[in-house]
Amino acid sequence: MKILVTGANGFVGKNLISELINRGYKDIYKFDIDTDKALLDEYAKNCEFVFHLAGVNRPKDEKEFMEGNFGFTSELLNLLREYNNKSPILITSSIQAERDNPYGNSKRAGEELLFNYSRELGAKALVYRLPNLFGKWSRPNYNTVVATYCNNVARGLDIQINNPDAELTLCYIDDVVDEFIRALEGTPTMQEKYCVVPIFYNIRLGELADKIKGFKESRKNLSVADMSDLLSKKLYSTYLSFLPTDDFSYDLKMNCDNRGSFTEFIRTSERGQVSVNVSKPGITKGNHWHHTKNEKFLVVSGEGLIRFRKIDSEDIIEYRVSGEKLQVVDIPTGYTHSIVNVGENDMVTIMWANEAFNPEKPDTYFLEV
C-alpha cells in the first residue's frame, strides 16, 4: 500500500512513520514543509491512503492558522480531486475545534472542507480531534506542556504553573499511532462522525508538574514510579527522552569498607529494593535473620557459599553459587543466613528485598549461622 504522510517530520509524523516501517509498510511518501512541492502532485496521484498531519499551531501571525490548517488542506484535496483519487484520508484536528479562537476556527474549517470533499467524491474521511499529545520527539514550548515540563525539569530550568488545578486531557503518542494504524487497516474507533483515540488520561496541571519533578528526584532517592499506573509509565518514558545527552548516567552511593561494598540501586514503595553487594575473597557477610523481610540473592560474578540455619535448630543448609551458572536463592524468614566469597576474585551479588530498608524498623537481627 502506498501511504502519503504530510507533516512527516513533525512529532506525530515521525512516530507514525517509524511504526509503519516496523510493521512492514514500505511505500511511504513523506511530505513536509521543506519537501519539493512538485512531489506532492506525484504523491497525490499514486497514494492509496493519506495521513494528513501537517498543520500550524504556533504561528508568528494568526493568519497563518487559516493558511496552514485550511489552505494546505484545500490544496491537497484539490490535487486528489484532479486525479480522481478516492483514497481514505485521515486528518488530525484538535479539541480546540470546539472553541471560537483563530486556531480552533482554522481546524474546524479544515474538518468541514474534508467532510464536504468526502460527500462529493465518496472518499472515506477520518477526522481525529486530538487532545494534548505527549511522548518522545515532541518539542518543548511548541507541541505540549508535557514536553516543556520534561525538557525544563531535566535541565534544572523553572517551569510555569499558572493554574495547578487546571484539568488536562492527555494522549500518549504510541496509543495515537496504534489507533491510526487501526484506521489504516479499516477498524478506526468511531464516536458519531469523529474518530477517537480510546486511551486517554485526565490530570491536573499541578499533579503533572509534581510527577515530572519526581522523576528527576528519583536519581537521588532511588525511587521508581509505580509502573502499573500507565500514565506514570508513559510520562517517565517521555521524560527520559528529554535528558541532555551528557546526563544519561548518574552516580550511586557506594558504602565501602575493607570487606567490599554495598550499594542501593532501586527503591519502590510496593515492590521492594534492589542492591548490589561486592565481597572480597574470604569475606563473610550477613549472619542475621528477619521476621517478615525476605530476600533473593543472585551471584553474577565470582563464587560463593550461602549458609542457612533455622534459628531454633543446629542443622546448617548450604548452597554453592557462582556467576558461571546464574541461580536465584530465596532467603526465607526465620532462618539466619550468611554469604561467603569462596573464590579468588571479588564476588558480585544482586540482592532484592521485599521492602525498602527502614532504619526505624530494620527487621534485621544478628545471629551467627
Active-site position among 103, 117, 149, 172: 103
Let me know: does 296 contact 318? Beta carbons within 8 Å: no
For the question of residue 103 being annotated catalytic, the response is yes
Burial class (CB in 10 A: 0-12, 13-18, 19+), 38: exposed
The one-letter code for the residue type at 124 is: K
For residue 136, how many C-alpha atoms fall within 13 Å in the half-sphere facing its CB?
Answer: 12
Let me know: does 27 contact 67? Beta carbons within 8 Å: no
All three cell numbers of 29, joined, read 511518501
DSSP 354: S
Q: Kindly list the strands in the beta sheet with 295-301, ordered across the sheet, starting from the edge strand earlier in the chain.
A: 254-257, 260-268, 272-279, 347-353, 295-301, 328-331
All three cell numbers of 361, joined, read 524498623
State the CB neighbour count (10 A cutoff) for residue 335: 19
Burial class (CB in 10 A: 0-12, 13-18, 19+), 314: exposed
The residues with which 134 forms a beta bridge, in sequence order, are 172
| Catalytic positions | 103
